[in-house]
Structure 1
Amino acid sequence: MDTTFTPSAQQITQTKQKIDAYIQSIDANPEHRSGAYPYYQFHAEGEAIRGTVLMFHGFSSKPHQMWRLTDYLFRNGFNVYQATLAGHAFRIPDKYWPQVDLKPEIANPLREKVQQDPVLLNFFANLMADPSNYGRLGELEKKALVARLVKLEPRLLNIVKAIELNEDPDFDRYFISSHMNYLQNARDRLAELEAMPGPIYTIGLSVGGSVALGLAADRPDRIKGVVAYAPLLKIYGVQERQYVMLAGPLDISESGWDPALQFPVGCLTAVDCFGSFVLSKVQTLQSVPTFLVLTENEDAADIETNQQFFKDIGGERKKHRLYVYPSSDMVPHPMVDPTEISRQMSNRFWQSLYQETFRFLTAGEVDSANMANVDQNTDLPQVPPV
């Protein structure tokens, strides 16, 4: 049922003061990342709202990644708070971003073996010699690297099992991890909205989708619905995931959406570990209406894991909704900006996606026919063109 609430001047002021204090704390750090500040759009005193949407961007991106959707939801009755993922407001991922590392007593001997291995020394020398290579490794390079690491340290295959299983009790035996910082940061952002009346909804993209789900599992009493665009609950592909798990604790860096920003592979390991945490909370999430949007052209989040997750939280009988863009729609990532091209593809259906996001937040339903239409539904608020 689509109802409205009217925040008082005091409630609006109190909420803004808390968020502004957080933004100022980021700005006070000389290592803050340009353009990565959180921001909000709140309606004025006396204006009725449908609720407040707390949004989380994708890995290595920034809050403005979904600014078009933010504007659309704001203009149609929602307050919106675009948060920054844990540590991602700062430009030194190795220092600030959630990460997984092997404990020193395991990592240090492994690093010594790597540093003494002529094959790996040659590999890393070649990698560093050509800056164009210093980004995401190709599939064959990852496969070769994993094979060499296991040859140097056969225990790695046993150790990595502690990551592969959800909430494995051996995890703390082998690893130091800050992956749960994603949840703690989300809790802090939700606390800043404490004074705001009405329901809170979470929306997230990729890693942000996992955070949106994780926060809902943590606070089902406060979060009334979730929209998750290709949530990264598990790294896509067996080879890719094995590489992330085994190479994560080493000093190997990659680049993401921002090629100038290098992050340790251990940050991807943390993402996968946080996804495992979310997967362990399916019972709680059954009670929080969720809209999952996937694409068959996904190259980051494991689509089969997401589809099984949808079944595990109860599917449509529990008021959840799922839409999967078929490969023929050539959508690389559900929330890719309409002005961007990724792997020679874009999302021609983005306006319908925004409309169905609005429909889900206000009515708990999704029209699959509209999702598959490049033209907008005239019965829903219209999305402005680019």
Structure 2
Amino acid sequence: MTTNSDILMNPTEEQIAKTKKAIESYFLKWWADPNKREGACPYYQIHEPGKPIRGTVMVFHGFAAKPKQMEILADYLFRNEFNIYQIPLAGHAFLPPDNCWPQIDLKPEYFEPLRERVRKDQVLADFFSNRSGNSLWQFQRLNKRQMLSLVTRILKLAPSMGDMILAIERSNDPDFNRYFTSSHMNYLHDAQQRLAELDAMPGPIYTVGLSVGGAVALGLAASRPDRIKKVVAYAPLLEVEDEIRERYINLTGPLDLREFSWEQNVSFPVGCLTAA
């Protein structure tokens, strides 16, 4: 990372201590939680008193990953006079994803009737059952043709789902809250809480993120332009470009179809992808 300024900050021992204490308080909450996800803890690299710094970098990993995903970049930045705060995305420090990760769900009054229709459709019932029962090593991702077939069959079974999905795909659609419960804003709210843990640290804050982490880095910077100086977003997930995959995610997500992460034995509802 390069900056337009060669000004170096020299945090005091007290400022460093306060920052470490704030971050460690969050770490201890993670450590004490019985649902903590192994290896998904937050961690920092902060230069010792007397060592000038260029600023502090908040690093956000990609969807379903862990902070260690970005450790090579973090180490490089630390060696080049930046403090580092590696942060798990909202909920990603805990398992299971169903209860901990942000997601979008259909409200019960819409979900239950639709689930009954799916159960009565033998093709869809078998499909959902097989997907939920697969192990990681047996799991095969759907190709576009399979996604399109699934979307077409669900919409034929429940045409009203078309209007519901538009409420997701349109920005600030007034019907979104009518159909769905959502915790997608937790991505931003959690990042804002992590930023607050750096209040005592002088100098500029930079955000860096990959994929969903890139979107979080951008969103956090937009919400706090007074505190965050610059953003580096690697392939930020701002929109699913492929229309078929986008419709598949938005349609099957609220129906609790599952996918698997790259981590062994960790699966998540597609609704977590919808929220991302």
TM-score by length of 1: 0.68
Residue identity over aligned pairs, in percent, reads: 56
CA shift, 1:141, in A, is 2.1
Q: How many residues are matched?
A: 271
CA–CA distance in structure 1, aligned partners of residues 260 and 192 of structure 2: 28
Structure 2 stretches of 5 or more lacking a match?
none
Partner of 2:68: 64
Partner of 1:218: 223
Q: What amino acid is aligned across from residue 125 of structure 2 in structure 1? A: L
CA–CA distance in structure 2, aligned partners of residues 128 and 157 of structure 1: 24
**Cα distance 1:135–1:37, how it changes in 2: closer, same or farther (>3 A)?**
farther
Q: Does 1:261 align with 2:252?
A: no
**Cα distance 1:93–1:126, how it changes in 2: closer, same or farther (>3 A)?**
closer
Instruction: Tell whether the 8 Å contact from 2:131 to 2:257 is kept in structure 1 after alignment.
Output: no
CA shift, 1:261, in A, is 1.0
**Cα distance 1:130–1:31, how it changes in 2: closer, same or farther (>3 A)?**
closer
Instruction: Tell whether the 8 Å contact from 1:248 to 1:264 is kept in structure 2 after alignment.
Output: yes
Q: What amino acid is aligned across from residue 203 of structure 2 in structure 1? A: G
RMSD: 1.3
**Match 2:38 to one of 34, 41, 44:** 34
Partner of 2:235: 230
Instruction: Tell whether the 8 Å contact from 2:57 to 2:82 is kept in structure 1 after alignment.
Output: yes
1:236-255 correspondence to structure 2 within 5 Å? 236-255=241-260
Partner of 2:90: 86
Partner of 1:23: 27
CA–CA distance in structure 1, aligned partners of residues 162 and 275 of structure 2: 18
CA–CA distance in structure 1, aligned partners of residues 131 and 206 of structure 2: 44
Partner of 2:125: 121
CA shift, 1:252, in A, is 1.1
CA shift, 1:130, in A, is 5.3
Partner SS state of residue 69, structure 1 = helix
**Match 1:169 to one of 166, 174, 177:** 174
Instruction: Tell whether the 8 Å contact from 2:114 to 2:158 is kept in structure 1 after alignment.
Output: yes
Partner of 1:191: 196
CA shift, 1:165, in A, is 1.1
CA shift, 1:138, in A, is 2.6
1:334-373 correspondence to structure 2 within 5 Å? none
CA–CA distance in structure 1, aligned partners of residues 264 and 73 of structure 2: 24
Question: Once the two structures are superposed, what CA deviation does each residue of 1:174-199 show, in whole Å capped at 9, x if it has no partner?
Answer: 11000000000000000000000000
Instruction: Tell whether the 8 Å contact from 2:64 to 2:261 is kept in structure 1 after alignment.
Output: yes
Partner of 1:181: 186
**Match 2:81 to one of 65, 77, 82:** 77
CA–CA distance in structure 2, aligned partners of residues 68 and 122 of structure 1: 43
Question: Once the two structures are superposed, what CA deviation does each residue of 1:191-244 show, in whole Å capped at 9, x if it has no partner?
Answer: 000000000000000000000000001001100000000000012311110000
Q: Does 1:158 align with 2:169?
A: no
CA shift, 1:126, in A, is 4.3
CA–CA distance in structure 2, aligned partners of residues 135 and 28 of structure 1: 36
**Cα distance 1:135–1:14, how it changes in 2: closer, same or farther (>3 A)?**
farther
Instruction: Tell whether the 8 Å contact from 2:106 to 2:254 is kept in structure 1 after alignment.
Output: yes
Q: What amino acid is aligned across from residue 113 of structure 2 in structure 1? A: P
CA–CA distance in structure 1, aligned partners of residues 259 and 141 of structure 2: 5
CA–CA distance in structure 2, aligned partners of residues 248 and 106 of structure 1: 14
Q: What amino acid is aligned across from residue 110 of structure 2 in structure 1? A: I
Question: Once the two structures are superposed, what CA deviation does each residue of 1:269-327 show, in whole Å capped at 9, x if it has no partner?
Answer: 001xxxxxxxxxxxxxxxxxxxxxxxxxxxxxxxxxxxxxxxxxxxxxxxxxxxxxxxx
CA–CA distance in structure 2, aligned partners of residues 187 and 210 of structure 1: 14
Partner of 1:312: none
Partner SS state of residue 254, structure 2 = coil
Partner SS state of residue 140, structure 1 = helix
Could you say which structure has the greater relative contact order, defined with CA pairs below 8 angstroms and 6 or more residues apart? 2
CA–CA distance in structure 1, aligned partners of residues 36 and 120 of structure 2: 37
Instruction: Tell whether the 8 Å contact from 1:127 to 1:133 is kept in structure 2 after alignment.
Output: no
**Cα distance 1:129–1:18, how it changes in 2: closer, same or farther (>3 A)?**
closer
CA–CA distance in structure 1, aligned partners of residues 173 and 23 of structure 2: 36
